[in-house]
Chain A
Amino acid sequence: MNWLIAILQTALFVALAPFLAGFMKFCKCRLQNRRAPSLLQPYRDLLKLTRKQPVISEDASWLFCTTPYIVFTAMVLAASVVPFIAVDLPTSAEADVIVLVGFFAFARFFLALAGLDIGTAFGGMGSSREMTISSLAEPAMLMAVFTLTMTASTTNLSGAIEHVLNEGVVLRPSFVFALFALMLVAVAETGRIPVDNPTTHLELTMIHEAMILEYSGRHLALIEWASQLKFMLYGVLISNIFFPWGIAESFGLSALGYGLLVIAGKLILLCVVLAIAETAVAKMRLFRVQEYLGFAYLLGLLGMLSHIILESTR
């Protein structure tokens, strides 16, 4: 029964990811006084791409063809680990937050390889940039995550969320820092403004897009979907770790339904905030990214410090 719910939840997660991306686009369009495409547009795009035959470069090896599947699988697995509607699922007992970070790293590793594989200039450039950013973002993310796990004294996501839930409303300075740090990292990792711009194909600025420039057809669809999943994963992580209230703690129908509503509300709020931020901020130069991520790391560090200094037992 529990496994069934876990699988259903994962399926829902995967299915809703493009919708969230569509909603994000919608918010941005409205803020910029443009007419927004339909909320279902990402689904249509994915559908269109899957129908098309992929064009594969003559120089591509098997790595290039398998990467989309690997990346997508990794993201789906990651989605199954993160408590979405209900907490305390069997899947999340299997893997903890470090495995989650591992999934992200795994997917990124293969994407970068694939970018290099075909031997075009853009692919190599994109891969190198992506790796630069992630090498800086990952420590920051781990720092923020460690702050959380130190508080909950577990690295298990479900356990941590339950810990936060059980304590009721506690204002934790360390969480404030960790939240900011994680948000900054999320922006960098999902390739959004101000680090990367997902809608541009300008060669000087693109990072993620450069890596996947050679993909087409169903391969591209999978990769797009995977990145939408990643975006949603970060959103769910942030909202459920720091504001877990409303998440279903039992598996009754009403609790699950309520949980779904609440998480939808949280994600919508987060999207609106992000859209406003993206509209207000200009993309920064690539060389400024390290400062930005350095700042995220600093925040993570401060979170850790204030956990030890301000909150711990003595």
Chain B
Amino acid sequence: MIAVYLLLLLSAAGILFFGLIGHKEDIGKLNTRINAVSLFITIWLAITVFNQGTILSSGKAFLIDSFNVYLIVLTAFVGFTTSLFSAPYMAHEKEIGKLSDSRLKLYYSMYQGFMLAMYLVLTTNNMGIMWVSMEGATLATVLLVSLYRTPESIEAAWKYFILCGVGIAQALFGTILLYYAASQIGDSENALLWTVLHEHATQLNPDILEIAFVFLLIGYGTKIGLVPLHNWLPDAHSEGPTPMSAVLSGLLLNDALYAVVRNKMLVDGATQSHIAGYLMMGFGLVSFLVAALFLHRQKDIKRLFSYSSIEHMGLMTFAFGIGGPLATFAALLHMTVHSLVKSAIFVTVGYASQLAGTQKISGIRGLIKTQPKVGWGLLIGTVAIAGFPPFGVFTSEFLVLLATMREYPWLTPLLLLGIGIAFAGLFRHIQPIVYGEKPEGQSPIKANFIPVIVHLGLALWLGLAIPGFLSDWFSQATLLISGSAL
């Protein structure tokens, strides 16, 4: 349990520390080190949970079970690798005069603030605190989206702030309803604790929980980027600094989905019906298809990949909505591989746009000739995210299809269609970027490729063979979420 406290304290200290000296030379390395330490702590935590099973802290404030511990490790991991990338990236931005000292302070401080919020969302046992930290994550990142202070970035940040703030307010209403239902069965002081709620899920009033879930889904769904609440997502991803896009896509969306799934578990217990699942399936499928179509009309490379994020989040929501062990397993796997691949892609995209000096797709050409590493990174990343074997995304998408075929066969063609459209949408843009004519005067930049290689390597590994401990882990989480083993 100490591990959790250490993890949270470390991030909290990071906020203060970087707020004071975040502008110094080589500060990026310190950020990396903090995140590395966090990663070690989470791995320690994971091993403990793996050996001992669910841990509940003494005050019942924190809960680590097989579901969230793997997300915690994933969060720490992506946070760490992104900080590896962010150090030279931000240094470069400072060099070319895009950022001042005070903004760098803000950036590093809020990077840790975001990590703190994410850890809190995952570790807390209290549904209210979960909401508070989810909102905290918005607050921490909103100023990072407008870090460059261009009119576009301010507009994006404003949209992000307002839409997510309003959206997440709906989730608070849902949480209040949840609390209301829970306080009817007594013990109102602990009524928001997830453990208590889960234990008494069957006694909760199904009518109230149904209504509550609608609000919770809309609220957290705004953060997941479900259509039609996705408007903020491409803007925030495209206008903020690239490391931010990587963590937003790789972490924030996952954690919002995590919140929804936690709530779904309660609602399923109370209603004993599949209503929550149907809602999630509907939202998920619509997001998946709409985002796939939008891929074709993008002209900004970061927007392109943020629509791809919406698409994949839609797929995960859909899979969690189907319920059942197979679909849940697939969704968990997809969450992992998507985070890995997508943050790798955003890292390469960051280098690519630094190299070309623009984010416009039409301006980025001939990467493979200028700097083969960037070109190959982007190409392989895109291949992976589009769901080609042998990468992990293929495995998880295949499992989702399988589950769909088993439960709702008539939805399979729609999914296949969506995957096809998305594939076409990505490649029509990526092909000229990678193979096109090299523009005059484009030269390689200093770049750190370790994150990309590690992430894609892991995704490849997960695609070829899921290691035993990880599949055990997923199975445990699946058992917890869907109620039955694979």
Check whether chain A touches chain B (CB < 8 angstroms).
no
List residues of A whose CB falls within 8 A of some B CB.
none
List residues of B whose CB falls within 8 A of some A CB.
none
